[in-house]
Amino acid sequence: MRGSTAALMAAALLMLLVSPEAPDAYEQETRRMFVEWKAKYRKTYKYAGEEECRYAVVKDARRRVARANAAGVTTSGLSGHAVEEIPVGYGGEPRMDERSYEEETRRKFVGWKAKYGETYRDVGEEECRYHLFKANRRVVVQLNAAADGETAYGLNQFGDLTNEEVRESCVGRGGETASKSALVEAIWYA
């Protein structure tokens, strides 16, 4: 029995060493925190794609909390609502009523998916990505209102991603982070 346990542990270690892309320590810690968070708040997801999307939201929130803490801003960290309350940008409201805004956003999401050839693993992931798209669209609406016609912002291929996912797409893992203005250009200039 003891020999078979050691053999299993050795095999698992070997698989980690030869795996094509072992996650970094931050990624492993974030994944562990997500699993603990799900257990603590009894969160379950019907679809694997939805769970991965929710994990991306938690990972993004963790980075924002870490940046705020580094800047001296005190936060309470991630709550039981961290994944359920997908951010809506700067917190402003669109100019039309919420129902019309929702209907228009759904239409735009369908068109955006067709334009960029976006498909999702399951309906859970699609719904989660829709909420991220909607939140990013709110930011675009606010930026366009603040720009007062001087410039026009829109949603590009990054429209359904968290800031963390955009950062990883633009600069890669472990690289220097791009400037804030470069990230805004990557996300919102159509």
Q: Please report whether residue 15 resides in a domain.
A: no
Residues 6 or more apart whose Cβ sits within 8 Å of residue 62: 30, 33, 78
The more confident residue out of 44 and 91 is: 44
Report the number of distinct structural domains present in the chain.
1
- Is residue 11, in this structure, part of any structural domain at all? no
Is the residue at 1 inside a domain? no
pLDDT surpasses 50 at 13:
no
Question: Is the pLDDT reported for residue 190 higher than 90?
Answer: no
- On the question of pLDDT at 187 being above 80, the answer is no
Q: CA Rg, the chain, in Å? A: 19
Domain that holds residue 61: 22-188
Residue 12 lies in a domain: no
- Span 74-85, mean pLDDT? 50
Kindly state whether residue 4 falls inside one of the protein's structural domains: no
For residue 109, being part of any structural domain is answered with yes
Residue 6 domain-assigned? no
40 falls within a domain: yes
Instruction: Name which of 30-39, 150-159, 172-181 the model is least confident about.
Output: 172-181
